[in-house]
Structure 1
Amino acid sequence: MKLGLNLSFAIKRCIESERLATLVAEDLDTKYVQFTWDLVDPGWPAQTRDALAKDYAKAFKSAGVTVESTFGGLASYTYSHILAPSPELRALGRDHLKNAIDMTAAMEVPAAGMPFGSFSADDALNPARREEIYKEALEIYVGLSRHAKERGLSMLLVEPVPLATEFPSTAADALRLMQDLDGQTDVPVRLCVDWGHAMFEPLFGTDANMDHWAEVVGPWMAVYHIQQTDGHYDRHWNFTHDGLVTPELLRNYWDRYGLTDQTYFLEIIFAFEERDEIVLEDMKAALKLLRAG
C-alpha cells in the first residue's frame, strides 16, 4: 500500500514549515503528504499566502517529501461554497477554490481539492432548487477547471461527504457528478473518497462499504482518505482505536482492486486540547500498524 499523510494532525500544533517537514520525514518516516488549507488559508492576502505556502513546499522538498495535492480542511468545510442558497455566497465559494488553485500553483503542486459544496436545509428538501443550484455549480466548476489548467495544475479532486444536504454524498451522486463533468473540464476531475464517509451506515445502510463505491465509481477514484470509524459518525479516529477499518481490510481492498498509483492519506483529527506528545506517539503507532497490515 502507498501510505501518505493528510497534515490535519498537525494543525494548531507543529506549524513551522521546516519542523513539520522534518517530523513527517524523520519521526513518521513518510514520503507523501496532502497539504491542508488549515495551515495556510487560501483567502489570506495573496502575496503573504503564497510566500507562506512556498515556504512549506520548499521545506517538504528539502526533506525528501512529495506534496501530492492540497486539500480543504476543517475551516473550508464550514461553508456551503458553490451550492449555497444565494448567488453572492456561491460566488464566494467559487473564489475560495480559485484562491486555493492559485496557492497550489505557487507551491508547484499538481492537484487541489475539497468537497463540492452543501445545500441549505431548505434547498436540500426542494428538488427543483437542488437541480437549479447544481446546474449553476457545474458551470462554476467548469470555469474553475479552466483556471486550474492556466495555472499549471493537472487535476482537481472532489470529496464525497456523508450528509444528505451535501453533494455528492452517495456513490450514485458521485457518479452523476463525474459523468456531468466528464469532457467538459480543462483538467480531469476525480474523486477523493474517504473510507469513514463511505462506511456511514445511517445514510447508506447496506451500501456503507468501500466495495459498493468501487463498483459504482471505481474508475473515478484517484485518492483516498483513511480513518478509523464506527460507522455511526464521521469519527476521524486513528487506527490505534478499535473500529470497522483494519489494516488487513485496507490491504485486501488495495490488492483486490489492483491499486498502484493511488495514495491512502491518513486523515486524523485530534481534539485540539490533546497533548502534542500524545498526538505524535499515536501517529507513530498507527503508521506502524498500517505498515504491518
Structure 2
Amino acid sequence: MNLGINLCFAVKRHLEPERWAEFVRSDLDLDMVQVTFDLLDPWWPERERDRVARRIADAAAAWDLTIHSAYVGLAHYVPAGLLDPDPQARAVALTWWRRACDVTALLGARAVGGPLGTLSVHDAADPDRRARRYAELLDSLVFVADHAAAAGLVEFLVEPTPVAREIPSTVEQAEQLMRDLAGHTAVPVGLTLDIGHTYYQPLYGPDCSPRDWIRPLNSAIRLVHLDNTDGLGDPHWGWPHPLGGVNVADIGADLRDFGLGDVPVVLEVYPRFEDDDDQVRRTIASSVAHCTEQLTR
C-alpha cells in the first residue's frame, strides 16, 4: 500500500526542511509526506511565508519526496473555525482556508484539508442553531473549494473527528455532508479517515471498529491517517505501545476488501513535545517498519 507520513513528528524538533526530508527518505525509506500547517502557518506575512514554502518544496524535491497534501495541525484545530458562532470569526476562518490553499499550491501538493471546526455548547444544544451552522458550513466549503480550484489544487479533504460538537463526527453525518456537497464544488471533496478516531469508545461504543466507517464510506475516503490508540482518547501513538490496540494488518485487509488498496495511507504519530528526541526518532522508525510490514499481510 502507498504509505507516507505526516510531518507532525517534526513539529518543535526538525524545523529545517532539509533535516526531516533526509530522515524520511534515508532512515524511513518513504517517498511521500503530508505537510502540517504547524510547520508553516498560512497566516504568516506572504513574502516570508512563501519563501519558507519554497524551501520546503525544494527540500522535498532534493530528496525525491512527494508532498501529497497540506493539513490542519494542532494549532489550527483548536479554534472553532468554520462552525464558530460569531459570523466575523467564521469569516476569518474562511480567509485562513483561502490562504491555506495558496500555501498548498506553493508546496506543489495536490490537496488541502483537515477538521472543519467546532460548534459551541450553546449552538450544539439547539436544533435550529445547529442547522443554521451546518447550512453555513456547506456554503463555506463551496467557497473554499472554488478557491482551491483557482489555486490549482485537485481535492479538498474533510476529516471526521470523535467530538460530538464537530461536523462530521459520525458516519451518518459524513454521508450527509458528502451528499450535500456532491456536484456543488469546483474540486471534489473527500474524506480523510483517521483510524484512531474510529476506535473512540466513549462516543461510538465498546465494539466500534474502522470497518464501521470503511464499509459505508469507502467511495468517499480519499486518504487514511494511521495511528495507535487504546480507544479511550486520541493520543496518536506509534508502534509498539503497551496500551495500543490498533491492528494494522486488519486495517490493511479492510481497506483492500472495500476497494481502497490504492488510497494513500499516512502515518500520523504525534509525540509529546517533552519526549526525548532520539526516542522519538526510534518510535517513528519502528512505527514505519511495523506498518509497512503489517499493511501487506
Structure 1 segment 1-293 matched on structure 2, within 5 A: 1-205=1-205, 208-242=208-242, 243-293=244-294
Q: Secondary structure at the match of 2:205?
A: helix
Alpha-carbon distance in structure 1 between the residues aligned to 2:282 and 2:79: 32
SS at match of 1:215: helix
Contact 2:218 2:259 survives alignment (8 Å)? no
Deviation at 1:198, TM superposition (A): 1.3
Shift of 1:124: 1.0
Matched residue SS, 2:184: coil
8 A Cα contact 2:71 2:113, kept in partner: yes
Shift of 1:255: 2.7
Instruction: List per-residue Cα deviations over 1:209-259 (Å, max 9, x = no partner).
Output: 111112221100000111101111112011211422123222222332232
| Contact 1:239–1:246 (CA under 8 A) maintained in structure 2 | no
Q: Deviations over 1:154-188 (max 9, x none)?
A: 00000000000111000111111111111000000
Q: Given the two structures, how large is their TM-score scaled by the length of structure 2?
A: 0.96
In structure 2, how many angstroms separate the alpha carbons of the residues matched to 1:269 and 1:162?
17
Q: Could you list the runs of 4 or more consecutive aligned residues of structure 1 that deviate by over 6 angstroms after TM superposition?
A: none
Give the letter aligned to residue 249 of structure 2. Answer: E
- Which deviates more from structure 2 when the two are superposed, residues 210-219 or residues 120-129? 210-219
TM-fit CA distance, 1:53: 1.1
SS in 1 for 2:270: coil
Q: Secondary structure at the match of 2:291?
A: helix
SS in 2 for 1:190: strand
How far apart, CA to CA, are the structure 2 residues paired with 1:220 and 1:284? 30
Q: Quick one: percent identity of the two aligned structures?
A: 38
Letter of the 1:278 counterpart: Q
Cα distance in 2 for partners of 1:215, 1:256 equals 9
Change (3 A) 1:189 1:207: farther
Per the TM alignment, residue 206 of structure 1 is displaced from its structure 2 partner at its CA by: 5.6
Whole-angstrom CA distance in 1 between matches of 2:206 and 2:170: 12
- Cα distance, 1:267 vs structure 2: 0.5
1:265 maps to amino acid: V
Task: Give the aligned length.
Answer: 293
Q: How does the TM-score come out when normalised to structure 1?
A: 0.97
Show structure 2 runs of 5+ residues with no match.
none
| Distance in 1 of aligned mates of 2:183 and 2:272 | 42
What letter corresponds to residue 143 of structure 1 in structure 2?
Answer: F
SS in structure 2 of the partner of residue 166 of structure 1: coil
